[in-house]
Structure 1
């Protein structure tokens, strides 16, 4: 029998919607010149972070907060743990595959050897992704739905074949991309949750254990063999810890066995703050390296943000604000890739998405704000047409 709060959790919706909106904003802002340093990602060895470096961790945190409710929904439908895992595995693989294709569309190709331009290749890739993973009308027959999915899968296969890298290498692993990293972290956190269950203390210990894997494998960076591979993928450990930190937050705030929720929130903030401070004495702060100090600082800031949202929505009942962020909250994957689809479509026609006059300074910053808001409007219109993307 589940002990989790039922129904929509508006504070989580707000956190998710705001996070994905800011993510679209900072992604567009990354192409703007002459902006303040605090609006950019910092260098790997800078030993500091900006709000931009907090966006990805916030999304990982939100992914973790959703895990208990997603598992509960599957169990309520009659799934056992193995079926829940298989469903999660399919979702994770979807994110990993999309991330892999996105990374190769950005770099690692030989444009002079490609049969089609890379913008056109990229646009066709996203169309194939939509065909594979978009929501289809329930009135369609199973055969028709499978046909649409098959066309998308065939499209991805053809694009794999058409891709040309340097020295005829084809598509290669460079890194997993943001979506791929989310996919791996989600998968590891889901496995941990299914093994541990709704036990906050154990979830917290497992999260700290994943943090501890970072310094354990760091000395093997650049080496061959299994230990070298673990070191190469060391970022996944701290990313998984951030997902599990979100899972822990959900249990402390929405598991009815723990009614002292303000106390739980307060303890969470204090303990995460202490751990973040201690970690900063041991490791430099680096998003690129995904160091434990960056992860724990991000968890601390996410806990502060969520505590604010919890107070506003769950306690004070200021729920009207959620309407503003509802499109992004309900369609995070679609609104995330929409800018890439539009840019690739225009690029295949030889056009640019951003006007040159708005590519630097204050005009560029204002453009980035307007662009993010326009993506909210566009995803709302697409939803009304029945276009949704959900793994």
Structure 2
């Protein structure tokens, strides 16, 4: 594959950091009462979306933007495509496992049948995740690293052992969670990139094929057996298309194959806008169902927003403000799960993070904004201490 820039791409970092900051904000906002509808997730059958419904697809878009650079970094280390795919499978597996555990910590449990509270269960689970996947100081010995990873593995296995669902059931993939959905879409998109390379037209055709696959499987809704299971996972197809769209945008902006970047960006935004309009005539807009209309609208909005960031940062070189988003950009996984860790820690002692007076209306909105900024500041401090969670 042709060489991409080897340095970190500041515009992608800014877009990632801003998206993560908004994600933490809207996650906290979900617990606030008496807020406008445009600050909430739309119901599955609403045929509408808000900026809240754009946060998850924006993160999928950014995952795709990062893939070409991640692949090149592995190639520079001497990895062949098989080794790169193996590394990707390990990363995806980690995301799926964390997402699986997170989903079961939120619902589907029978706390009365468990030997510990769900808050303590969640806290041990998150510390096990940190032990398994956090970075370690360079001076640590192999024995120290093995001990830490073993402790994390034992912790997750122990939490799986003590988990109880209704009627003596076990942990279930009620859904894969945000991280799990990202993991599935990431590994599929990585495989597509390894096969197609930096050929934008081919990757675009593959992305549209996943939209077509969604439409095909949608017609099989209600089937039982293996087909029914596949249909239930149909939304993964539009998630993959979202990741591939970010990958394509990244190549348009940075691949040496593309000579007229401005024209390429404009064309990509215009085409996705037209496709989104056409999709809205066929499907309702629904994040919950991950309809093609929602996915293509998300691509259009994400591509448009990133085009602005690209112009400001990469073309006009206005970069002084970018440091605001550096903590979240450098450690997105940690800042995503940090609020859940704090919630579990507080719940273990019977405390709550948010006072009741800040759980409604304007006060709640302001609380959510301050909370998100505080999480970013806390992660910045953890970064300085060398605490990073990265798959």
- TM-score (norm. length: structure 1): 0.99
Per-residue deviation, residues 190-245 of structure 1 (Å, max 9, x unmatched)? 01111111110001000000111111111222322222121100010000000000
Per-residue deviation, residues 105-164 of structure 1 (Å, max 9, x unmatched)? 000000111100000000110000000000011111111101100010000000000001
Per-residue deviation, residues 226-272 of structure 1 (Å, max 9, x unmatched)? 22121100010000000000000011110012121100100001100
CA contact (8 A) 2:2 2:257 kept: no
Give the structure 2 partner of residue 87 of structure 1: 87
Question: What is the aligned residue count?
Answer: 391
1:211 lines up with 2:211 in the alignment = yes
CA contact (8 A) 2:40 2:52 kept: yes
1:101 lines up with 2:101 in the alignment = yes
Give the structure 1 partner of residue 42 of structure 2: 42
Give the structure 1 partner of residue 350 of structure 2: 350
Give the structure 2 partner of residue 303 of structure 1: 303
Give the structure 2 partner of residue 262 of structure 1: 262
1:19 lines up with 2:19 in the alignment = yes
Task: Describe the SS at the equivalent of 1:282.
Answer: coil
Give the structure 2 partner of residue 136 of structure 1: 136
Give 1:320 shift: 1.1
Aligned 1:171-210 pairs, distance under 5 A: 171-210=171-210
Write the distance in 2 (CA, Å) between the matches of 1:85 and 1:224: 32
1:151 lines up with 2:154 in the alignment = no
Write the distance in 2 (CA, Å) between the matches of 1:192 and 1:42: 31
Give 1:173 shift: 1.6
RMSD of aligned alpha carbons: 0.7
Greater mean alpha carbon deviation, residues 136-145 or residues 78-87: 136-145
Task: Describe the SS at the equivalent of 1:289.
Answer: coil
Write the distance in 1 (CA, Å) between the matches of 2:59 and 2:36: 24
Task: Describe the SS at the equivalent of 1:49.
Answer: coil
CA contact (8 A) 2:65 2:246 kept: yes
CA contact (8 A) 1:279 1:292 kept: yes
Task: Describe the SS at the equivalent of 1:308.
Answer: helix
CA contact (8 A) 1:5 1:256 kept: no
Write the distance in 2 (CA, Å) between the matches of 1:127 and 1:61: 29
Per-residue deviation, residues 330-353 of structure 1 (Å, max 9, x unmatched)? 000000000000000000000001
Provide structure 2 residue ranges, at least 5 long, that are not aligned to the other structure: none
CA contact (8 A) 1:95 1:180 kept: yes
Give 1:361 shift: 0.2
CA contact (8 A) 2:279 2:292 kept: yes
CA contact (8 A) 1:3 1:257 kept: no
Write the distance in 2 (CA, Å) between the matches of 1:66 and 1:45: 32
Provide structure 1 residue ranges, at least 5 long, that are not aligned to the other structure: none
CA contact (8 A) 1:58 1:298 kept: yes
Give the structure 2 partner of residue 362 of structure 1: 362
Write the distance in 1 (CA, Å) between the matches of 2:118 and 2:132: 21
Give the structure 2 partner of residue 52 of structure 1: 52
